[in-house]
Amino acid sequence: MMKPLEGIKVVDLTTFLAAPTAARVLGEWGAEVIKVESPSGDPGRTQGAVFGMPYEDDENLGFDMSNMNKRFVTLNLKDPKGLEVLHRLLADADVFVTNIRTKSLVKLGIDYDSLKEKYPKLVFAHCLGYGEKGPEKDTAGFDVTCYMARGGVFGTTVNKGDAPMIPTNGFGDFQVSMCMASGICAALYNRSRTGLGDKITVSLHHAAVFMLSTGVVSAQYGNKYPKSRKEVICPTNNVFRTKDEKWIALCAPQYDRDYDKIMTLVGRPDLVGNEKYNNCDRMNALGLNSEVVTILDEAIKKFTRAEILKIFKDNDLPCEACYEPLDMYEDEQVWANGIMTKLDCPSGKRNIATNPVKFQSFEPTFKVSAAQGTHTVEVMRELGYDEAAIKDYLDSGAVVGKKALK
């Protein structure tokens, strides 16, 4: 059985996380992905230092997260010969993925307007910080600034009065990567009908606002953010700390229906039928939300996480542990559904998340990244360069062969 994108060729001129991860996903779905790096390399290769992980050519999961299932060539695009090799790649490519800023693409002559006439079937996929228009269109952008900050995540999801959340690196980037992958696939499908490629853009800023849709829409009706967990409209839709200092999330939005059941289960039968608290509208009108949250805090604090989870789940109340990464490694549900896989590394088997889209027709395979320039010569041969030309390009620095991390 063929993978869904088998036969599709992707040229990846990307750095860091969001855009290269989109290409990684296309590779998992069967596309041939060729990543083009500058002689200095994708700075994502050394992000292991930021993530608290090793970064060696033979063990670099911080880079693999975004760059598995690719081949790697190194081109000096400031050299006409290096740029020529890129154009040979684009000539028979289906998709060009990049997050290079527009003004730099224009300078190199590889922006969409420059390429669409030469390669009319090419799908041009551009990951941006702030979008194509407006005063910030050329501003440097990262997940933290464009997505988490300007996109509203930090300011909206904070527990009111506290500092913003400290997310894992790339929290927004990985969401954006799936948006990009979906747009690329839609453009490829449309090309099958029209014969023409297209330009798709995904900005970190826009994606974040979309992911916060409920808050974005409801705020205009007076639903204010940020919120305090003590003041939420439905106290049984909340997070609680347990006796063993773990967090759980209870999601019981039908407050009036479940109030008596919950109070019984947490050991407060004395509050069953209490008209002061048992109706959500009345409780909100009287501003008693924090009292109910405090009651639940004190009651749930008497149970361990495992105890209260069992009680709630046994009684069909949606509830879950607020897992930390180490918890995920031991989660039977994770391994049963292929949510993570194990890669063979010099230090042993290491866990890495898979992309969340599953196909009935095939099981994905995972090929770790390689050193910069590992496939430069191989790919040039495939493009029709003879050995003398390859040597000339290597000697001149227009292209670079395999180069180990320092």
Tell me which of 321, 347, 376 is where a domain ends. Answer: 321
Tell me which of 321, 351, 379 is where a domain ends. Answer: 321
Q: Are residues 300 and 160 in the same domain?
A: no
2 within domain boundaries: no
Q: Are residues 43 and 190 in the same domain?
A: yes
Q: Are residues 126 and 189 in the same domain?
A: yes
What is the domain count for the chain?
Answer: 2
Residue 171: its H or E element = helix 171-194
Q: Are residues 172 and 146 in the same domain?
A: yes
229 within domain boundaries: no
pTM equals 0.94
| 20: preceding bond cis by omega (within 30 degrees) | no
Q: Are residues 157 and 182 in the same domain?
A: yes
- Using DSSP, state whether 122 is helix, strand or coil: coil
> Which tens digits make up the pLDDT trace of 376-406?
999 999 999 999 999 999 999 999 999 999 7
Cβ atoms 62, 99 nearer than 8 A? no
Domain with 306, as residue range(s), is 247-321
Share of the chain above pLDDT 70, in %: 100
Tell me which of 287, 321, 355 is where a domain ends. Answer: 321
231 within domain boundaries: no
1 within domain boundaries: no
At residue 153, the pLDDT reads: 97
30 φ/ψ sector (left φ>0, alpha ψ -120 to 50, else beta):
left
At residue 406, the pLDDT reads: 77
At residue 397, the pLDDT reads: 98
> Which tens digits make up the pLDDT trace of 6-22?
999 999 999 999 999 99
Residues 6+ apart with CB under 8 A from 255: 234, 235, 236, 237, 280
CA-closest candidate to residue 142, choices 208, 97, 199: 208
Q: Are residues 170 and 90 in the same domain?
A: yes
Rounded to an integer, what distance in angstroms lies between the CA atom of residue 44 and that of residue 267?
A: 51
Active-site annotation holds for 327: no
306 within domain boundaries: yes
At residue 49, the pLDDT reads: 87
405 within domain boundaries: no
Block means of pLDDT (10 residues each) for the chain, 406 residues, are 95 98 98 98 94 94 97 98 98 98 97 97 98 95 96 96 93 98 98 98 98 97 94 96 98 98 98 98 97 98 98 98 96 97 96 96 93 98 98 98 92
Q: Are residues 198 and 280 in the same domain?
A: no
129 within domain boundaries: yes
186 within domain boundaries: yes
> Which tens digits make up the pLDDT trace of 129-179?
999 999 999 999 999 999 999 999 999 999 999 999 999 999 999 999 999
Residues 6+ apart with CB under 8 A from 217: none
Cβ atoms 251, 318 nearer than 8 A? yes
Q: Are residues 124 and 264 in the same domain?
A: no
Q: Are residues 38 and 140 in the same domain?
A: yes
Concatenated DSSP letters for 77-114? TTSHHHHHHHHHHHHT-SEEEE-S-HHHHHHHT-SHHH
Rounded to an integer, what distance in angstroms lies between the CA atom of residue 305 and that of residue 43?
A: 41
Q: Are residues 141 and 280 in the same domain?
A: no
> Which tens digits make up the pLDDT trace of 345-356?
999 999 999 999
Rounded to an integer, what distance in angstroms lies between the CA atom of residue 279 and that of residue 289?
A: 11
The rounded mean pLDDT for the chain is 97
Q: Taking the CA atoms of 284, 287, 288 and 293 in sequence, report the sign of the dihedral they define.
A: positive
Q: Are residues 279 and 345 in the same domain?
A: no
Q: Which of 42, 143, 173, 198 is catalytic?
A: 173
At residue 357, the pLDDT reads: 97
At residue 1, the pLDDT reads: 79
Rounded to an integer, what distance in angstroms lies between the CA atom of residue 166 and that of residue 220?
A: 27
Q: Are residues 73 and 110 in the same domain?
A: yes
Residue 385: its H or E element = none
| Residue 71, domain CATH | 3.40.50.10540
